[in-house]
Amino acid sequence: MPSAIAFENATARIAVDRNVVAVCWRDAPRGPTELREMERAGKRLGTQYKNGTALFNVIVSGTPSFSEDVRNEVTRITSDDDLFSLANAHVLLVEGLVASAVRAFLSTALLLSRTKSPNRVFAEVDGAVGWVDERIRSGPVVWTRGDLRAFVERTIAP
């Protein structure tokens, strides 16, 4: 399956390619819509790729304001160990207080979800690509690091 945009609005762009979903967050979700679209894309891929899928969750900008509905939805989605079971790379391309707030939010959500799926937070794309590549390498879907990086870069491009 070539790269395809599964969903896009002013807040997020969700793209899929083979067994990987990449999400570009331009702002924090104000409700569950974008999160449910991310979950939907992951579940569709999960039915096709039984050996697992991976997620690049890339925050490029925005105001870190998370409602209770959003916090609950993130906890519910991250609790699903079958969703993105190979790797969940959270890439924070924002800096300063925004990065600190998002990192705290993600840490809390992952702690509350008690997920067994591999999760890791990064400050740059290259480290995330290397980490995801190591986790999906054992699967039947062939990726190169260059392919992964190009997919993420296309997804987060303006």
**Domains, the chain, with CATH or none:** 4-156 (3.30.750.24)
For 100-139, the pLDDT digits (tens) are: 777 777 777 767 667 788 988 898 999 999 999 999 987 7
For 4-28, the pLDDT digits (tens) are: 999 999 999 999 999 999 999 999 8
Cα atoms found within 13 Å of the Cα of residue 9, Cβ hemisphere only: 11
> Which residue bears the tokens 């990086």?
149
In the numeric block, which tokens belong to residue 83? 């969703």
Q: Answer whether 63's CB lies under 8 Å from 94's CB.
A: no
